[in-house]
Homo-oligomer: A and B are copies of this chain.
Amino acid sequence: MKYTQLVISDPSQLIFGNTPYPVKTRRGLDIGGGQVYSELNFTLPVMSINDQTLPQVYDHYRQITEGALERALHLNSKGVILEFETLLEMTKTPAIGVEIVKIMNDICENYYQKHGLASEIRLTPNDLREFERPALQRTSRLLEPMFQLFEEGMLAGGDLLSIESTGGKEVSDEALMMCDIKAVLFSLAVLGVRDMQFLWKKIVALAGQHGKIAAGDSACGFANTAMVLAGKKYIPKVFAAMVRVISVVRSIVAMEQGAVGPDKDCAYEGPFLKAITGIPISMEGKTAACAHLSPVGNISSACTDLWSNESVQNIKLLSGMAPTAYMEQLEYDVRLMNTAIKKGTTHSHILQQLFVESDVYTDPQALVLDPANVIRISSALIRGDSYVANARNGALEFIEILEETLATGQMTLPEMESSYIPMLREELQGIPDSESDFIEMMLPQIDSSKFILSEYGL
């Protein structure tokens, strides 16, 4: 791993709106430069995407963008990121995705020219490779439309590039359901890392070529899936929190390849990435309740630079369209943080403290997001010599913190949860430092018909 030292090692420096390496955008946003911005996400209501419905699809995106920016303007917004996370058809047929970026960008530009409201588009194509099983991570023909959308989409105004890439997911899906932490670690710290290296080298090169921003990649299909499953009480929260920690070593590869942030919302690795690399991040919490319920509603904002709602359909609420309503909610959340920043560090720290203390002891998934714990775990995550060792160390450090916290009585867990702690520790302790030793150890245990080693450069 490239990083051997934390860029932010003092928990009091790990705070919303500020980071050592802010990202400046074309229309003047300064992400992480002293200001938190809203990041609005949205999607279509129930409908098909086909030749007949395309005009309606475009209309939806036009209406969403106009409604949201009009509201942001009304609320004196300091700036907005609009994430265009594509639906499959829009990546499969990149022309559709590009057209939507154009529509949105025209509206952004208009609000900028006419009213001075700055906004940018984060373009997030789908990782189509998961349509093929076993996955052809490197040789798939599906890489072509993905990269066509990246390139033409960024030229059309999708300035921030992200993806939720899926390398390793073929192993992770079952591992999550089985609570098999070693297989999870294999999927993230071996397969995921290798796929990220392959993918992000290309994305960063492309962004560099056109002067655009390679932002980041979230382990949504891993860590967020785990959180949703834990939320349904399908798997232990302790396990889900650990998956999140492990996913850091996978997602940080984007930065190692040159991505500069803002990291993508939805997997909550952000705070760790921020501590280790200093890039700005995007997070989501209570105001993403439209997309999924959450055990980290407040604490997730403790050190964020963008504040996101993850996704909401373009449907009508009593007040108006849902994306407009969520734009408003994000803006007020962000105003609170920005007012605190403006008033100085005492105020920002007290607000952060309230965010943290309101959730921290309610769930292990919240516990890991306490800035002090983020720093501790981050240190462990860069201590070793391999991604595998780092992932294991981070996970073990999380167990330390969890047990210390349980010992103080500030947090309690039902037996069903706590009984997983020794089991997980034991499994982790059996993981060797070296990647090749680990691969050798794991191969007999995993259904190898599910993935092709050579597609991961192995």
The interface of chain A, by Cβ under 8 A from chain B, is: 43, 71, 74-76, 285-287, 289-294, 297-298, 311-313, 315, 317-320, 322, 324-326, 328-329, 331-333, 335-336, 338-340, 343, 346-347, 350-351, 353-355, 357-359, 362
- Please give, as numbers and ranges, the residues of chain B lying within 8 Å of A317 by CB-CB distance: 289-291, 312-313, 322
- Please give, as numbers and ranges, the residues of chain B lying within 8 Å of A332 by CB-CB distance: 285-286, 297-298, 358-359
Tell which of B75, B312, B355 touches A336, judged by Cβ atoms closer than 8 Å.
B355
Inter-chain CA distance A294–B328, complex, in Å, is 8
CB distance from A332 to the nearest CB of B (A): 4
Knowing A343-B354, A358-B336 touch, does A324 contact B293 (C-beta < 8 A)? yes
- Please give, as numbers and ranges, the residues of chain B lying within 8 Å of A322 by CB-CB distance: 317
Could you pull out 20 A-B pairs where Cβ atoms are within 8 angstroms? A71-B293, A74-B293, A286-B328, A289-B326, A289-B328, A290-B317, A297-B328, A298-B336, A315-B315, A329-B329, A335-B359, A336-B354, A338-B358, A339-B354, A339-B358, A347-B350, A347-B353, A347-B354, A351-B351, A351-B354
Inter-chain CA distance A90–B350, complex, in Å, is 46
- Please give, as numbers and ranges, the residues of chain B lying within 8 Å of A336 by CB-CB distance: 298, 354-355, 358
- Please give, as numbers and ranges, the residues of chain B lying within 8 Å of A339 by CB-CB distance: 354, 357-358
Tell which of B289, B311, B357 touches A325, judged by Cβ atoms closer than 8 Å.
B289
- Please give, as numbers and ranges, the residues of chain B lying within 8 Å of A76 by CB-CB distance: 362
Inter-chain CA distance A81–B213, complex, in Å, is 47
Inter-chain CA distance A359–B76, complex, in Å, is 10
- Please give, as numbers and ranges, the residues of chain B lying within 8 Å of A75 by CB-CB distance: 297, 362
Task: With CB as the reference atom, state the residue of chain B lying closest to A333.
Answer: B286
- Please give, as numbers and ranges, the residues of chain B lying within 8 Å of A354 by CB-CB distance: 336, 339-340, 343, 347, 351
Knowing A76-B362, A343-B357, A358-B335 touch, does A293 contact B311 (C-beta < 8 A)? no
Task: With CB as the reference atom, state the residue of chain B lying closest to A315.
Answer: B315
Task: With CB as the reference atom, state the residue of chain B lying closest to A359.
Answer: B335
Inter-chain CA distance A294–B329, complex, in Å, is 10
A293-B320, A297-B328, A313-B317 known; 14 new pairs, CB 8 Å cut-off, are: A43-B318, A75-B362, A76-B362, A289-B328, A292-B318, A293-B324, A297-B335, A317-B322, A329-B329, A332-B358, A338-B358, A339-B358, A343-B353, A351-B354
Tell which of B71, B286, B313, B347 touches A318, judged by Cβ atoms closer than 8 Å.
B313
- Please give, as numbers and ranges, the residues of chain B lying within 8 Å of A319 by CB-CB distance: 289-293
Check if B293 sits within 8 Å of A325, measured CB to CB.
yes
Check if A291 sits within 8 Å of B313, measured CB to CB.
no
- Please give, as numbers and ranges, the residues of chain B lying within 8 Å of A338 by CB-CB distance: 358
CB distance from A360 to the nearest CB of B (A): 10
CB distance from A321 to the nearest CB of B (A): 11
- Please give, as numbers and ranges, the residues of chain B lying within 8 Å of A359 by CB-CB distance: 332, 335
| 8 A-B pairs closest in CB distance | A297-B332, A286-B332, A289-B325, A335-B358, A339-B358, A289-B328, A292-B319, A290-B317
- Please give, as numbers and ranges, the residues of chain B lying within 8 Å of A324 by CB-CB distance: 293
- Please give, as numbers and ranges, the residues of chain B lying within 8 Å of A343 by CB-CB distance: 353-354, 357
